[in-house]
Amino acid sequence: MASAAGVSISTASKALNDTGRMGAETRERVKRIAGEIGYRPNALARGLLSKRSFTIGLLTNDTYGRFTLPVMAGISDALVDHGVSVFLCAIEDDPALAQTHVDAMLDKQVDGIIATGKRLDRRLPVDLSNLHVPVVYAFTEGTQNSVTFRSDDEQGAKLAVEWLAKIGRRRIAHITGPEEFFSVRERAGAYHQVAGHREPVLYGVWSESWGHEAVEQLWKRPGEKPDGLFCGNDQIARGAVDALRERGIEVPQDVSVIGFDNWEIVAAQTRPPLTTVDMELKELGRQAGLTVLALAEGRFVEPGVRKLPCRLIVRQSCGGEAPGK
């Protein structure tokens, strides 16, 4: 204990926290000694008193981490300066496991919980609406009157289609995932709005093989072929690029392809590397982190859904701009 080395016990606390009255010399001496003996206050004891544990929980059902990791990185990035640490709880889609983790977090007096997932229109398999700690939702469906952060898929899709139009593509097709996904419908809506209805939307699944197959379908149809493909995610885009190459069609010379997600491992390794839409999940995480912190500190935050803009990442699969960016 620092007090042993210094002089008293409550004085030590005041010295280290720059609070209370005392001689400047005493304060300095206590601080110095504390530094020398490497004294660190026990956060448990502090938390017991202050009702703040400087700990939050991140709950996710995105086992693979495609979406969770960037969100986590953003949260951590925003909160580490505030001394807040993050419990990561991966609950598959198991309600019992989820409840176990939530209970464990509540026992540990987390200051708040961030719920995240892999789909904007699905709830986590656990009810977080009546907890006595603040909850914010990031990239997953929230409850009434909650604060929810999500990507603006409509704006992101517009970005993509407008980019294709800007570089001169006129017959733009849209190959995407299952129609029951909210993101799919929203992106398709934006596609229709910007590109008109000249080409159909091909709904399928989120896989490379679907991208591959969709290209086969498109090119087997009679009539003019598309000169631009807006794909619902990078995996589909990659499958499409592969299918085009197998048909001897050059990307981006003959056809421009654009993806969605900016999943580096797919987008950057495709030949040519994919131009794609980034949902800025890290920024999303950052804002979610700051928000849950604000709520934990009792500050008021307007409930509602906040849509964060996407960003276009230009690589080489569209042409139209110097590859060197």
88 DSSP β-pair partners: 58
- Provide Rg for the chain, Cα atoms: 26
Q: Which stretch binds a copy of itself (CB under 8 A): 27-35, 96-104, 250-258, 314-322?
A: 96-104
Instruction: Report the C-alpha gap between 46 and 36 in whole angstroms.
Output: 22
Residue closer to DNA, measured from CB, 45 or 322: 45
Question: Cβ 54 to a copy of itself, closest distance in Å?
Answer: 8
**Which residues within the stretch 159-178 sit at the binding site for a copy of itself (CB under 8 A)?**
none
With CB under 5 to 8 Å by kind, the binding choice for 206 among a copy of itself, DNA, none is: none
Of 34-42, 142-150, 273-281, 301-309, which segment contacts DNA by CB under 7 A? 34-42
Under the criterion CB under 7 A, does residue 18 sit at the interface with DNA?
A: no
Q: Choose among a copy of itself, DNA, none what residue 129 binds, the Cβ cut-off being 5 to 8 Å by kind.
A: none
List the one residue from 32, 166, 198, 271 that touches a copy of itself (CB under 8 A). 271
Q: Where do the DSSP E strands lie in 141-208? A: 147-151, 172-176, 201-203
Encoded one letter per residue, x for contact with a copy of itself by CB under 8 A and - for no contact, window 217-256 reads ------------------x------x--------------
> How far apart are alpha carbons 67 and 120 in whole angstroms?
11
DSSP 180: T
217 in contact with DNA (CB under 7 A): no
Smallest separation (angstroms) from a copy of itself to the CB of 44: 5
- Please report, as a single letter, which amino acid is at residue 245: R
3-state class of 137 per DSSP? strand
Residue 207 interacts with DNA (CB under 7 A): yes or no: no
- Interaction mask 40-59, DNA, x per CB under 7 A: xxx--xx-xxx---------
- The residue from 17, 19, 40, 300 that contacts a copy of itself (CB under 8 A) is 40
Single-letter code of the amino acid located at 15: A
Distance between CA atoms of residues 101 and 107, nearest Å: 10
Cβ proximity of 31 and 15 under 8 Å: yes
CB-CB neighbours of 165 under 10 Å = 14
Name which of 176, 174, 239 is nearest 208 in CA terms. 239
Give the Cβ contact number of residue 131 at 10 Å: 14
Give the footprint of a copy of itself on this chain (CB under 8 A): 40-45, 47-48, 53-55, 57, 63-65, 69, 72-73, 76, 80, 83, 85-90, 97, 100-101, 103-109, 207-209, 212, 235, 242, 264-266, 269, 271
